[in-house]
Amino acid sequence: MKFLDQAKVHIRSGDGGAGSVSFRREKFIEFGGPDGGDGGRGGDVWAEAVNGLNTLIDYRYQQHFKAKTGVHGMGRNLTGAKGADVVLKVPAGTQIFEDDNETLICDLTEPGQRYLLAKGGNGGFGNQHFKTSTNQAPRRANPGLPGVEKSIWLRLKLIADAGLVGLPNAGKSTFLATVTAAKPKIADYPFTTLHPGLGVARIDAREFVIADIPGLIEGAHEGIGIGDRFLGHVERTRVLLHLVSAQEEHPGKVYKTVRGELEAYGNGLAEKPEIVALSQVDTLDADERKKKLAALKRACGTTPFLLSAVTREGVEAVLRALMAVVEEARALASPKTGEDEDRWKV
């Protein structure tokens, strides 16, 4: 299945059904009077977060969604039925924006959450509503109100506990493949990862979700390389794992480059807890390790982890450090209180 994290769709709620003009005419009933029923309300357009989806690929092949028109009213005071609704099923973590792609309509972060995107038009009144003492046989009825038509943007931001950031070929995909059951593409050239990936890591009988995004390069916030489009997938994470390749000649400079891109992107990424690791250390001898570890330590201000996903050196230590931050954040935040309160709002 292809990964698609943004799609534009066109929606229209159903028109209301028209009211009926009808009169009761029965044998032995002298004064029947008007009995035209009301029209039914048009169908609504809803968005619903569901389990089992992790991409918006369905909306590449269908972009137009229209709810059904309400059934027209009929005689004998019969009200028309409501038109059928349309439900856009999206992955948890989907944000919905207006046509300008900036005005947020809703943020569906939990399976089962629903949001009314477009309400169907009300049905028209039948002629029974217009009966008065001076007009006992009205021959008019209201048409149904039209539905709402507009274009919206769907934007998916993956929900994960930890996010992987770093330059291309920093070992992010190899780390994800080592600690989870995910099978990302791994190769010895830059930008191997073209789409974000998710995996579930397990350490000490506890689990958390890791998100991997394509590598960042200098100027990514201005659209250079793949750009910063995929940084949105680590906005919801509780901690970042910043990998710096041991094959870099100046690891401290590389670290500052990526940090600069996170700060330029904004949205709170630069303020998230960060764990730094010098990856691919299996390619260095002891002296080079010390030298590059010291350079990276001066740049980040903390002691980085030594990590090799190939030989699994330092893997468990990094996972435990990530798990500690994740558990602390889970303890402080709850579905209704804490710093994650906004994530549960519809």
d(CA 76, CA 78): 5
Span 214-222, mean pLDDT?
63
For the record, the structure tokens of 64 come out as 């137009």
* Distance spanning both ends of the chain, measured CA to CA: 28
Tens-place pLDDT, residues 159-188:
889 989 888 888 888 888 888 887 765 655
Is 43 marked as a binding-site residue? no
Is 38 marked as a binding-site residue? no
Domain of residue 98, CATH code: 2.70.210.12
Kindly state whether residue 340 falls inside one of the protein's structural domains.
no
Tens-place pLDDT, residues 16-62:
999 999 998 888 877 788 999 999 999 999 999 998 888 898 998 99
Residue 301: what residue type?
Answer: G
Is 168 marked as a binding-site residue? yes
Is 121 marked as a binding-site residue? no
Provide the 3-class DSSP secondary structure of residue 230: helix
If asked whether residues 178 and 132 sit together in one domain, one would say: no
Is 22 marked as a binding-site residue? no
If asked whether residues 233 and 105 sit together in one domain, one would say: no
pLDDT value of position 344: 40
Name every residue whose Cβ is closer than 8 Å to that of residue 10 and which is 6 or more positions away in sequence. 63, 64, 65, 149, 150, 151, 152
Is 77 marked as a binding-site residue? no
d(CA 62, CA 9): 8
| Last residue within a domain, chosen from 112, 133, 156 | 156
Residue 344: what residue type?
Answer: W
Give yes or no for residue 218 having a pLDDT over 70.
no
Kindly state whether residue 39 falls inside one of the protein's structural domains.
yes
Is 334 marked as a binding-site residue? no
Interstrand relation of 206-212 and 162-165 (parallel, antiparallel or unpaired): parallel
Is 171 marked as a binding-site residue? yes
| Last residue within a domain, chosen from 105, 128, 156 | 156
Tens-place pLDDT, residues 285-305:
888 889 999 999 999 888 999
pLDDT value of position 337: 43
d(CA 334, CA 31): 65
CB neighbours of residue 57 within 10 Å: 14
Is 167 marked as a binding-site residue? yes
Note whether 5 and 60 are within 8 A (CB): no
Tens-place pLDDT, residues 225-260:
555 667 778 888 899 999 999 888 888 999 998 888
If asked whether residues 232 and 323 sit together in one domain, one would say: yes
If asked whether residues 269 and 129 sit together in one domain, one would say: no
For the record, the structure tokens of 203 come out as 């350490």
Is 337 marked as a binding-site residue? no
pLDDT value of position 345: 43
| Last residue within a domain, chosen from 156, 185, 209 | 156
If asked whether residues 329 and 181 sit together in one domain, one would say: yes
If asked whether residues 48 and 79 sit together in one domain, one would say: yes
Kindly state whether residue 46 falls inside one of the protein's structural domains.
yes
Kindly state whether residue 341 falls inside one of the protein's structural domains.
no
Give yes or no for residue 329 having a pLDDT over 90.
no
**Rg, Å, the chain Cα set:** 29
pLDDT value of position 157: 87
For residue 267, the enclosing domain spans: 162-333
Note whether 106 and 95 are within 8 A (CB): yes
If asked whether residues 142 and 168 sit together in one domain, one would say: no
Interstrand relation of 239-245 and 162-165 (parallel, antiparallel or unpaired): parallel
Span 205-217, mean pLDDT?
83
Is 20 marked as a binding-site residue? no
The per-residue pLDDT of the chain, averaged, comes to 86
Is 173 marked as a binding-site residue? yes
Is 141 marked as a binding-site residue? no
Is 100 marked as a binding-site residue? no
Tens-place pLDDT, residues 69-119:
999 999 989 999 999 999 999 999 999 999 998 999 999 999 999 999 999
d(CA 96, CA 155): 6
Is 122 marked as a binding-site residue? no
For the record, the structure tokens of 260 come out as 């600069």
Is 244 marked as a binding-site residue? no
pLDDT value of position 338: 44
Q: Exposed e or buried b for every residue in 7-17, given b needs 16+ CB within 10 A?
A: bebebbbbbbb
Q: Exposed e or buried b for every residue in 157-179, given b needs 16+ CB within 10 A?
A: bbbbbbbbbbbbbbbbbbbbbbb
Is 281 marked as a binding-site residue? yes
Span 142-159, mean pLDDT?
93
Comparing 325 with 217, the larger pLDDT belongs to: 325
Is 188 marked as a binding-site residue? no
CB neighbours of residue 336 within 10 Å: 8
Residue 88: what residue type?
Answer: L
If asked whether residues 129 and 263 sit together in one domain, one would say: no
Nearest to 172 by CA among 208, 218, 211: 211
Is 180 marked as a binding-site residue? no
Domains: count for the chain: 2
Is 192 marked as a binding-site residue? yes
Provide the 3-class DSSP secondary structure of residue 23: strand
Nearest to 126 by CA among 68, 81, 82, 74: 74
